[in-house]
Amino acid sequence: MRSMSDPKTHHDDDWDVDDDDIPSNLSTVESIGDIMEQRYSRRDMLRGVTAVAAVTAVTGPGVGIMAGEAQAATSSLTFSELSHGNDETHHVADGYEVQTLIRWGDPVEPGAPAFDPMNQSAEAQAMQWGYNNDYVGYLPLPAGSDTPDHGLLCVNFEYTNHQLMFPGLQKGELDKQTEAQVDVEMAAHGHGVIEIRRDGNTWSVVAESPYARRITALTTECRVSGPAAGHDRLKTNSDPTGTRVVGTINNCAGGRTPWGTVLFAEENFHGYFGGDPSKTAEARNYKRYGLKAKSRYAWFRYHDRFNVEKDPNEPNKFGWMVEFDPYDPNSVPVKRTALGRFKHEGATVVVNKDGRAVAYTGDDQRFDYVYKFVSNGRYDPNNRSNNTDILDDGTLYVGKFHSDGRLQWLPLVWGTGPLTPANDFHSQADVLIETRRAADLLGATPMDRPEDVEPNPVTGVVYMALTNNSKRKADKVDAANPRGPNKTGHVMEMIPPGTMGADRDHAALEFKWEIFLMAGNPAKDGSARYNAGISSNGWLASPDNVAFDNEGRIWIATDGAPKEGIADGVWGADVDGPGRALTRHFFRTPMGAELCGPEFNTDCTAYFAAIQHPADNKGSTFDNPSTRWPDFTDGMPPRPSLQVVVKKGGGTIGT
């Protein structure tokens, strides 16, 4: 997802700088761009869009859009494609309607007050819908069922835009923020659970639901588990045990587990801390994660734990994946340290054919890595409680992409290879606290912002959205990241051994890989690659998150398309056959916003979309926003909101 910044600004000392555009990886892994052509043979080129990168590698840019020569380009998606655009409101393909379920400030927990933008308080916000809703997970009710019209929505609240939340503020005016406003921001972070129900073709939130819950950065206590729990580097002023932490921050994407819990990420945690990290014993660690003396938030002015000079270990409590049970309103969120510490986009769990749980996760920064975790324990479908701590014990791996199409998974295990006391790793906890540095030493492949990493539930192939990398130089491209600079991103396939679906071995140490598509406007960018049948509205830019419907089709949400002159939104495509990589435009956001989630209900008759940071344009403020979406009421600020898309008259989304 997006960092808290204006993507047009790239000055290191400017508050508006996009942290995703400032690599913190100083690794000197050798580029393999000079042997890219070895990745693809002539036979590969003739296979069509499966070998998307082959044309670029062998013949260079500008050869046109690639497709299978033997089949006409037709898609199984039959909706009337939406046109590109960018205006004050959202749009969806003809034949569909959009319903707004809940908006920033709407009541969540029983007894929550109505939203009053001119009289906000942390106490109210802690019971209301948070800001910048992101990840969406649909969990049916009752638990363990596949009910399509009654369930829980579990949604992250990633970050806050103070200039759009409070009157009288411009972007970056931290010194003008009051303690009360800071506490509102902290209460607006975290996670929310709502109960929803469909009546006919209309969805609504169930009021006063016993499942309704807010998890916040201000008051919610989380438990720390796994190999790093209790380590000295996690001991802080408020928690000398190193096993507890108040709150969770920058909650980006996430994932549902097969045992009915939810995982949500802590992504750009570095921007919340003030004080000079170079004055702490963790200076090397914090530099690799991008911490600076200049914070993006005013929290450190009122809460000492966000000042690294006063509480130097507090940042080590963040950057983890968090698990909790939405079916239990009293569930304590748990930070699972075995999954590593970095800027997680999310984590998607699949049960391997041998019963082990495998979690895929990306580190969303330019030149950082893709990871997977393989549990030691086996998933027990007949005893939910036996799966409670399955993510605490296992092996974390990082990906190394080879030019011959192999993907090697390198274990991040203390005492092996370079992960020894000679390199200042004295335990597995050290390896996990400094996951990035450990991966550097192993020689992992630096990627173009690996964001969502999702296994296709039908084919078993794993898809990774690489949003962009404007800092990759032309002489530093490699087979898996073949463009420099890569301004519009691409989507990759990571292919476990096996033939289909459940037969895939996700625990294998070697996969194959392919490039599914290379984003961008093919009319202007000769390196863009899709199916040859793509329409003028079918191209996309900066793929961010993906979802799959019950037919295994991919739905791609974007973050950064406005830099290419169009709004962010969602595009759908087949993953094989004549419609492979034939992306079709389905939904677009209002100006300044990106589309997060996305998520289907169990029968794919509803499509949930989280609209984040509407009106986040240059110069847009609470008092003078670029759009007042979704209320369009004088005096009401723009409000991040959760929406559901349904087919008019009912039916499956996309067809």
Our count of domains for the chain comes to: 1
Determine the 3-state secondary structure of 367 from DSSP: strand
Tens digits of residue pLDDT in 576-610? 999 999 999 999 999 999 999 999 999 999 999 99
pLDDT for the residue 54: 38
Tens digits of residue pLDDT in 615-643? 999 999 999 999 999 999 999 999 999 99
Do the domain assignments include residue 239? no
Cβ-based neighbours of 499, under 8 Å, separated by 6 or more:
none
Do the domain assignments include residue 5? no
pLDDT for the residue 24: 73
Backbone angles phi, psi at 448, to 5 degrees: -90, 70
* Confidence bin at 7 (pLDDT 50/70/90): very low
Residue 404's domain spans which residues? 31-233+313-353+363-382+396-647
Tens digits of residue pLDDT in 185-196? 999 999 999 999
Query: In the Cβ-directed half-sphere of 537, how many Cα atoms lie within 13 Å?
Result: 19
Asked if residues 252 and 267 have their Cβ atoms less than 8 Å apart, the reply is yes
Other beta carbons within 10 Å of 283: 15
Q: Is the pLDDT of residue 564 over 50?
A: yes
The Cα 519–Cα 492 span in angstroms is 11
Tens digits of residue pLDDT in 157-180? 999 999 999 999 999 999 999 999
* Confidence bin at 18 (pLDDT 50/70/90): low
Do the domain assignments include residue 387? no
The Cα 382–Cα 380 span in angstroms is 5
Cβ-based neighbours of 382, under 8 Å, separated by 6 or more:
none
DSSP string computed for 236-250: -SS-TTSSEEE----
User: C-alpha dihedral over 246, 249, 251, 255, to 10 degrees?
Assistant: -30
pLDDT for the residue 21: 55
Asked if residues 444 and 426 have their Cβ atoms less than 8 Å apart, the reply is no
Tens digits of residue pLDDT in 327-369? 999 999 999 999 999 999 999 999 999 999 999 999 999 999 9
Q: Which residue has the tokens 């308080």?
A: 121
Tens digits of residue pLDDT in 419-467? 999 999 999 999 999 999 999 999 999 999 999 999 999 999 999 999 9
pLDDT for the residue 19: 59
Asked if residues 365 and 256 have their Cβ atoms less than 8 Å apart, the reply is no
Q: Between residues 101 and 36, which one has the greater pLDDT?
A: 101
pLDDT for the residue 50: 35
Pairing status of strand 221-225 against strand 334-336: parallel
Tens digits of residue pLDDT in 238-276? 999 999 999 999 999 999 999 999 999 999 999 999 999
Do the domain assignments include residue 251? no
Segment holding 164, helix H or strand E: helix 162-165
Average pLDDT over residues 151-159: 98
Please calculate the CA angle 280-284-290 and round it to the nearest 5 degrees: 95
Residue percentage of the chain with pLDDT more than 90: 88
Going 386 to 391 to 396 to 402, the CA torsion angle's sign is: positive
Backbone angles phi, psi at 35, to 5 degrees: -120, 20
Q: What's the whole-model pTM score? A: 0.93
Average pLDDT, the chain: 91
Do the domain assignments include residue 307? no
Determine the 3-state secondary structure of 234 from DSSP: helix
Determine the 3-state secondary structure of 183 from DSSP: helix
Which contacts (CB < 8 Å, 24+ apart) does range 172-175 have?
A: 172/15, 172/16, 174/15, 174/295, 174/297, 174/298, 174/301, 175/298
Q: Is the pLDDT of residue 136 over 50?
A: yes
Going 226 to 229 to 232 to 233, the CA torsion angle's sign is: positive
Asked if residues 643 and 99 have their Cβ atoms less than 8 Å apart, the reply is yes
Closest CA to 1 of 575, 525, 598: 598
Q: Is the pLDDT of residue 215 over 80?
A: yes
Asked if residues 589 and 137 have their Cβ atoms less than 8 Å apart, the reply is no
Query: Which of 48-57, 298-307, 353-362, 538-547 shows the lowest per-residue confidence on average (mean pLDDT)?
Result: 48-57
Other beta carbons within 10 Å of 78: 10
Do the domain assignments include residue 503? yes
Do the domain assignments include residue 64? yes
Q: Is the pLDDT of residue 13 over 80?
A: no
Q: Is the pLDDT of residue 397 over 90?
A: yes
Q: Is the pLDDT of residue 32 over 90?
A: no
Distance of CA 169 to CAs 165, 175, 356, 625, Å? Answer: 9, 10, 50, 12
Q: Is the pLDDT of residue 111 over 70?
A: yes
Region of 61 on the Ramachandran plot (φ > 0 left; ψ -120 to 50 alpha; else beta)? beta
The length of the chain in residues reads: 655
* Confidence bin at 80 (pLDDT 50/70/90): very high
Do the domain assignments include residue 422? yes
The Cα 325–Cα 348 span in angstroms is 16
